[in-house]
Amino acid sequence: MNKIKKSALGCFAGFLIVFWIAGGIFYYFATHPASDVARPVIVEITPGMTLKKAASLLAERNLIRNAFSFHLLAYLQNKQNQIQIGEYELSASMVPGEILNIVTSGKTVLHAVTIPEGYRITEIAALLAQHELADQNELLLQTRNRELIQTAGISADSLEGYLFPETYHFSKYTTEQKVVQKMLQTFKEHAETPEFINRAKALNLSFHDIVTLASLIEKETGLDEERKLISSVFHNRLKKNMRLQTDPTVIYAISGFDGNIRKKDLSIDSPYNTYKYSGLPPGPIASPGLQSIVAALYPSETNYLYFVSRQDGSHQFSSSLLEHNQAVQKYQLKIVNNAGS
């Protein structure tokens, strides 16, 4: 009997020693960083990746000392099902508990992308795809999402003009719908203010008209000092029921535009052809910046009805057709003639 007791006690003592050693090893692995190297490492947790696979990945990248200990740590903290997809910035100098908190927080790496003023939806989608932040076709579909359009109170078939040009920060796994919603929300915050809405009403224009007009201004000039002058030309023409006759709207109507606008293009049958139809086109032709929106709302007080490019980025403005034709002769035809001589 004594021998049995001694044997049992010996086994129990051996178990305690093994448990103590295992516990000590686990404690060491769970509380000590893999190294003192603080260099950031981007780790991507992909869809469908299990905790076990994530722990193995972290060990392979030398960010933790032991995958099993990390796996056990997650269970002890009841975070075994909280690993979230995304890219995470980690370093080997972090203790495993800190790494676990990060990969279960959803605070993923954000990538900056700047949407330039004057970009069309198709260009925005291509830019985001280039940065691997969206599927191009899916983003285009979301810009025609009827629910998003109706919720935003926009009277159009797409969100063209309402994706605000700004620098954004998206994760690699931000959905296309959330990307579009963020851009639309930014537009509302910057442009759809009570002051601007009331000003549009004072001009007897809808806010959709203002955004449309702002997009024309945006495409016509890159000079801030000219925006309100360009706006005055369009406002003056609208008041006189003159056709706006602006090339960017024709270009918008041309499928597969090759960079050259031809005389025959000016007769294309499209509601966006402002050489053929009076008034504003059905909707914006690009995303206007805030300065163009302000210019559309607060045009300069002028008698200008025409403008022509000086071929240096600026424009010559005229109040009469005679003046305009003289400007065309000076800045356009003269250059053509000189080029041919």
**Mean pLDDT rounded to a whole number for the chain:** 88
For the domain 29-109, what is the CATH code? 3.30.1490.480
- Using CA atoms, how far apart are residues 26 and 3, in angstroms rounded to an integer? 34
Report percent pLDDT > 90 for the chain: 66
Asked whether 44 and 59 are in contact (CB, 8 A), the reply is no
Q: Which CATH class is domain 305-341?
A: alpha beta
- Using CA atoms, how far apart are residues 19 and 223, in angstroms rounded to an integer? 75
- The pLDDT value given to residue 5: 53
DSSP letter for each residue of 304-334: --EEEE-SSS-EEEESSHHHHHHHHIIIIIH
Q: Where in the chain is the domain with CATH 3.30.1490.480?
A: 29-109
What one-character DSSP code corresponds to residue 315? E
In the predicted structure, residue 298 carries a pLDDT above the cut 50: yes
Q: Where in the chain is the domain with CATH 3.30.160.60?
A: 305-341
pTM of the predicted model as reported, rounded to 2 decimal places: 0.84
In the predicted structure, residue 341 carries a pLDDT above the cut 60: no
With residue 44 as reference, give the H or E element that holds it.
strand 41-45
Contacts of 66 (CB under 8 A, 6+ apart): 29, 59
In the predicted structure, residue 195 carries a pLDDT above the cut 90: yes
pLDDT tens-digit map of 87-132: 999 999 999 888 999 999 988 999 999 999 999 999 999 999 999 9
Lowest mean pLDDT, pick from 46-50, 265-269, 333-337: 333-337
